[in-house]
A and B are shown apart, each in its own frame.
Chain A
Amino acid sequence: MSLRLVRIVDRLIHGQVVAGWLRALGARRIVIVDDATARDEFLRDVLTLAAPSDVPVEVLNIADGAIRCIELAASPEPVFVLARSPRTVLGLRQAGVPIEVVDLGGMGSGPGRKRLHKTISISPDELAELRELERLGTRVEIQIVADDRPIPFRSLDSTH
């Protein structure tokens, strides 16, 4: 199991990811899975360039990302996987990627989104997707920075 962490964060690579998580996880490779980002050449460039120069970044859509993640999960190299939405992670899981834990790291608010914890807000659709992930055996946790103690999603989802 070398997918060190699958993390949902709408800003993808940002301050904490670069500064804290890579160190905490000992990961030397980032895989970003997001359909829209994979289509945008400028964003692909920026994300690739923004990571530390010794950490390779791959930006892939869900279909390619699933193939790549399955491949990487079988290798010993520690990998940090980033996605923007629960739907993407559910897509990966359903395509057979072995994901033990998914971490909610930052999900901005907006119309129709309910605040779950600090900077984590979710829509009803996302709530359903996260529950589906849990049903498939993937643990969902909230851990905003690497030094935080992870909070199980179950404990915040009152209808469980």
Chain B
Amino acid sequence: MNRKLALAGGSLAVLAILAAATPAAVLGANAPGGTGSGSAPITVGFGQAALIALGYYLANSPWLFGLAYYTLFRPLVAGLLVGLILGHPAEGTLIGAAINVPYLGFISAGGSYPSDVAFAGWVGTTIALAGGLNPAAAIAVAIPLGLLGTLVFYGRMSVSAVFAHWADDRAEKADINGVAFMNVVPGQILLFVISFVPVFLLALNGPGFVKDAIDRLPLWFSDGLVIAGGILPAIGIALTMRFIFRGSAIPYFFIGFILFTFSGGSMSLVVIAAIGVALAYLHLTFTGGLAPKSTEAAAEIATAPVLMTSDETAPAGRHLTRGDVLRSWITWSFFSHANYNYERLQGTGFAHAMTPIIRKLYTTPDEIRAALKRHLVFFNTEPNFGNVIHGAVIALEEQRANGAPIDDDAINSVKSGLMGPISGIGDTLSQSTIAPILLALGIGIAGGTATGSSIPNFAPGSTGNVLGPIIYVALVSVIIVGIGYVAWMQGYLRGRAFVTDLLRSGTIDRVLTGAGVLGNLVLGALAAKVVTLYLAPTVSIYGAQLNIQASVLDPIFPGVLALGLVLITFWLLRRVSPLWILAGMLTFSIIAAFPFFGPGPQNPNDYSYQACTSSLLHKYAPCGVPPAPSAAPQASPSPAASTAP
């Protein structure tokens, strides 16, 4: 465990050096300034739309070793790829990162699917990039797309059940290849058609449509969308807090927030993550978390049967080699969700994964038929940590093939008994801890400036950094595949004893506690980076005009409003559905952009003090201090004013 922690720390340090050494200016590009103006038009051609549609299909497909869900599915990664396809990787990355924030706490468990994150990412980035939208405004456009995209998922989940019955027919004929075929081919043809067509059409026509719509809207309304882009991320932060903002890890969230805010937004998320790893180690040491909970485990290992044999030493009988077990793992890694459907969920995927085992262990058609049918039933678990079940089932199948008295019930009860509890742990580990923390890190890295410093993602002058998605993909892939491999092999070698030993040893609790410390620190910093709201109005105190934000709040605690918003959203999430919060925030943002107190901005780049203070909230940055009555240059220009073109 300590070695793994050291390893993680080491790789983070290497990545930090990489991130620091890469000239951000090469990778970076200036974010578009307004909502519909400024930057050179980007068009989406026929071939580009096809590539984007293919990317969206791949995001839900099995072809990336089952890693699509942790990579192409996430808007952070989709943003980079859409950016590459359209020739603007850095801008695409910044937009993808922005769209990803509300989905930071996204999980799909037990066939539920609150939003199609991939649809929001692939289509949202395309529309925002080619429609010339500000990354912040892209969030408001992407969220409805995410809801629309769930139709693709529901369609597939309903129709694919039919293919499970086709697999049943092949099993009846003892046709091993036929079952594998039915798990992959029909479902993927269906998925390709229902994914490719809508995304292709939207990528081709969406940007123009949205650009026209935005151009027709009053200026304050578009500004409202940008303001929403600073407020909506609070939902993603708060949803993620539901998983990790608890117990003794809570203070680290505030430390992360304060570190970022009081470094003036210049502290890199990589540095904050490195501090997080150190703090996690200290936290575990000083709370006694590193000591094993029980010594019971060691005794059980000694008595656990060692089933693994290599090619050379295989004794007589039907024995599996390391290669067979690996082939089964690889099949599962690729195709666990190839035919995901409401009726059996991963049922056909499980049977497919067992095909290398069945082929090796069973020879008569009757045996093969029985084995295929045994594994075609309803099954659903977390597909990485949950691999202990598959490993244990393979061991049972091997014993059974060699005459051990193991009946269908024994195998079924291991599967059906374990899939629930194990997916509970697996989802907590992978979907609700590892993925959001690494995403927070990647999103944090994805927004920076041309000089390499880290600033709020939507501030003018903010650039995209393609290292964000690249580092995220590298880390998440290694960790997820690593968990899957170890779980599979240990499940096979040590069977059910591994499960109880692991749970008793407290290793999972330690990992979750340590990850909670690191996660809260990074999440707090990310909250400071992406949740932004700036009060615009001025008040008159003893005759002096004071801007509430710049003259009252910022000198005491900059970012206090953002922090308050996050905490209120977290509190609200226990009582109100995220969709209502979202609708409320969007409405509020647009109302808050209305010029109640003055004439309002005259053009998208009007950052004058008068325009800035005309509404309730201002986009991008505080309004600064009032201009001195006589001098022409402003004494202390606001960041918005100084960087505006």
- B contact residues around A47 at 8 Å (CB): 421
> Do residues B423 and A15 form an inter-chain contact, with CB atoms below 8 A?
yes
Are A16 and B432 in contact, with the CB atoms below 8 A? no
Using known A-B contacts A12-B421, A19-B428, determine if residue A46 contacts B574 with beta carbons closer than 8 Å.
no
Given contacts A18-B428, A110-B378, A147-B114, contact A119 B345 (CB under 8 A): yes
Collect the chain B residues with CB atoms within 8 Å of residue A154's CB.
Answer: none
Q: What residues on B are CB-neighbors of A147 within 8 Å?
A: 114, 577-578
Contact between B574 and A49, CB atoms less than 8 A apart:
no
CB of A56 closer than 8 Å to a CB of B = no
- Measured CA separation A14–B381 after assembly (Å): 8
CB <8 Å contact, A15 and B109: yes
Query: Once the chains bind, are B420 and A12 in contact (CB under 8 Å)?
Result: yes
Tell me if B's interface is mostly helix, strand, loop or mixed: helix
Residue of A nearest to B497 (CB): A42
**Contact stretch, chosen from B397-405, B484-492, B499-507:** B499-507
Within 8 A of A (CB), among B219-266: 242-243
- Please tell me if B598 contacts chain A, counting CB pairs below 8 Å: no
Contact mask B414-453 → A, CB, 8 Å, 1/0? 0011111111111110011000000000000000000000
Q: Provide the A115-152 mask, 1 if CB < 8 A to any CB of B, else 0.
A: 10011010000000000000000000000110110000
Restricting to A44-69, which residues have a CB under 8 Å from any CB of B?
45-47, 49-51, 53
Q: Cβ of B74 < 8 Å from any Cβ of A?
A: no
Contact A46/B344 with A53-B509, A106-B110, A109-B378 known, Cβ cut-off 8 Å: no
- Which A residues are in CB contact (< 8 Å) with B428? 15, 18-19
CA separation between A21 and B382, bound complex, in Å?
Answer: 18
Kindly state the separation between the CA atoms of A42 and B500 in the bound complex, as whole angstroms.
Answer: 8
A49→B112 CA distance, assembly (Å): 25
- CB contact under 8 A between A49 and B503, given known A15-B424, A119-B111: yes
Cβ contacts under 8 Å, A118 to chain B: 111, 157, 342
Determine whether A2 belongs to the interface, using a CB cutoff of 8 Å to chain B: no
CB distance from A58 to the nearest CB of B (A): 15
Residue from the set A36, A40, A53, A148 with the largest chain B CB neighbour count within 10 Å: A53
Whether A46 and B418, one on each chain, are in contact in the complex, defined by CB atoms closer than 8 angstroms, is: yes
Extra contacts besides A18-B424, A42-B417, A49-B421 (20): CB < 8 Å: A10-B416, A10-B420, A12-B420, A14-B419, A15-B423, A15-B427, A15-B431, A16-B112, A19-B427, A24-B574, A43-B417, A46-B499, A50-B422, A50-B424, A108-B344, A109-B161, A115-B342, A118-B157, A145-B109, A147-B114
Minimal beta-carbon separation of B369 from chain A (angstroms): 16
Chain B residues with CB under 8 Å of A119's CB are 110-111, 342, 345
Q: Evaluate contact between B424 and A19: CB separation under 8 angstroms.
A: yes
Tell me which residues across on chain B come within 8 A of A37, comparing CB atoms: 417
Residues of A within 8 A of B (CB): 9-19, 23-24, 36-37, 40, 42-43, 45-47, 49-51, 53, 106, 108-110, 115, 118-119, 121, 144-145, 147-148
A50 touches B421 (CB 8 A): yes
Contact B342 A15 (CB under 8 A): no
A17 x B424 contact (CB < 8 A): yes
Which residues of B from 152 to 171 have beta carbons under 8 Å from A?
Answer: 157, 161
Partner of B112, one of A23, A51, A53, A145: A145
What residues of chain A lie closer than 8 Å to B157, measured between beta carbons?
118
21 contacts between A and B (CB under 8 A): A11-B420, A13-B424, A14-B419, A14-B420, A14-B424, A15-B424, A16-B110, A16-B112, A18-B425, A19-B109, A19-B427, A45-B503, A46-B499, A46-B503, A49-B421, A49-B503, A109-B344, A115-B343, A118-B342, A119-B111, A119-B342
Say how far A142's CB is from chain B's closest CB, in angstroms.
12
Find chain B residues with CB under 8 A from A40 CB: 413, 417
For the complex, what is the distance from the CA of A145 to the CA of B242, rounded to whole Å?
15
